[in-house]
Structure 1
């Protein structure tokens, strides 16, 4: 992919699965792990990576179940698609690459993986940034009609297999476009054709659709159990946290990101609204890069 010229790419066997990742930027600079969300791949960072490659050693994986990473067979409680397992993938990947401590940023599902990584592997994360999410448990517990209408895919994808898979599969490309449009500005003009083609290539396959459903089923089940256990123990994010939410996004409109994240973080929380929808790294790549550069400096 021409966007990532000079980046190495490989498949890494970690934590019992295989993770595709690109690694590039400037050797000797601080490592920064960037995690994508649904229904995308690491390609969402292509513009941000161009802006940051002189300042960081960048690691851009596809989460398990997404892109060119492995899509494990599902289990009854969806534990192998839990954010705990996905976070363990990323911790093992960074260990394999020789990075004991690193900066971390996650968008959407990647933000939820990043949240769990910062809890389960607190000593590894120097600073954390999440893009356009509130804590998973708070979002489910705060669900109302407005949220259910706006994030309809949350409640479709958690239905037992194979119902959502059968509904999406025959119209996967059109369904992908509808979801991306609903999360962004209402259209797809801000997504470069090459990136959109990459999302189509990776998502419009039966195993990818099933894996995405398993990700969401885990979030509505075992992930909530893990979150409740962490809160019962008083476990919090120990590092400073930057939260960027789109002004036109659901999280900024229906939740209170500053208050919800501060309640889960013992460090300093800086929550900001930016002039975007949900897909901030693509809508505002320069502003995103500038915010990350300043925060992780």
Structure 2
């Protein structure tokens, strides 16, 4: 896993250290994982991107995996997507990449989107996988949404979700080493059994219902849009289309140049359909190159 990649812990400011790996040569691409995975979820995609001529950077988001878990605040702002996005920009600059493409899956897609909005001079292409913006999701949060995505609201409660998850993390989160890959599964399992990591991952959701939604709503009210080329991709066997209908219509409210792809997989597309996902990313990044 991650052959010829360099593993590191890098200071991105404010006392936060990000753990991750980087490798390859060529145009830089930052890959951001979702909940409850770590950076190793990309282990089947990264060699394909490297072979296609890209330099790939995969960190654990703050709070996840082996990255720092800073103290929180009443508004949960230390786990906002704005804070995580700033981590990513600082990381890439520290690695010598002033401009780069960013790919985010699940919760990582919210970080990637925020990075493109807050640091447009740094992000030259954006790919968001299996998501619509947090503000858009919450604006459509009817009873059907709440029945299917109840965890968003449960995770935001104080104390109870930590107790429920840590009582039996394996049963709560599941995971199959045969499907995930044994080393990826071990890294993921280490994370979900760590009380500090579980607490920090929940802080991500708590921030989502507050400061993250406020940031999205403020951008919409101000007419801010993502200026770089944007790929919106979703899993054919997940529920994004069923939940939102025309996914691209939502994203056109946020980005000026939107392309699409449908991946023949369940939610964890980097593990389930790495060849198709990598192919779509390479086509998009090649077409978006200046």
1:156-190 deviation per Cα after TM superposition (whole angstroms, max 9, x unaligned): 11112x1111111111121111xx6xxxxxx7753
Can you list the C-alpha shifts for 1:57-99, whole angstroms capped at 9, x where unaligned?
1100000000110011111100000000000000000111111
Q: TM-score, normalised by structure 1?
A: 0.92
- Tell me, in whole angstroms, the C-alpha distance in 2 between the residues paired with 1:190 and 1:9: 24
Q: What residue number does 1:20 align with? A: 19
Q: Distance in 2 between matches of 1:47 and 1:189?
A: 13
Aligned length: 283
- d(CA) in 1 for partners of 2:194 and 2:107? 19
Take 1:189 and 1:246, find their aligned partners in 2: how far apart are those partners?
20
Counterpart secondary structure, 1:215: helix
- Aligned CA RMSD, in angstroms, stands at 1.3
**Contact 1:103–1:128 (CA under 8 A) maintained in structure 2:** yes
Distance 1:233 1:43 in 2: 37
- Which position in structure 2 is the counterpart of 1:219? 208
Residues in 2 aligned to 1:71 and 1:173: alpha-carbon distance in whole angstroms: 21
2-side partners of 1:4 and 1:273: how far apart?
Answer: 26
Unaligned residue ranges in structure 2 (runs of 5+): none
Q: Which residue, out of 21, 33, 38, partners 1:36?
A: 33
Q: Distance in 2 between matches of 1:62 and 1:18?
A: 10
Contact 1:257/1:271 (<8 A) preserved: no
**Mean alpha-carbon deviation: is it higher for 200-209 or for 56-65?**
200-209
Determine helix, strand or coil for the equivalent of 1:296. Answer: helix
Q: Distance in 2 between matches of 1:53 and 1:263?
A: 33
Instruction: Kindly report which structure 2 residues correspond to 1:175-214, keeping only aligned pairs within 5 A, or say none.
Output: 175-177=172-174, 190-214=179-203
Task: Choose 79-88 or 202-211, whichever is displaced more.
Answer: 202-211
Deviation at 1:34, TM superposition (A): 0.5
Q: Which residue of 2 aligns with 1:283?
A: 272
What TM-score do the two structures reach when normalised by structure 2?
0.94
Contact 1:244 1:274 in 2 (8 A): yes
Aligned to 2:236: 247
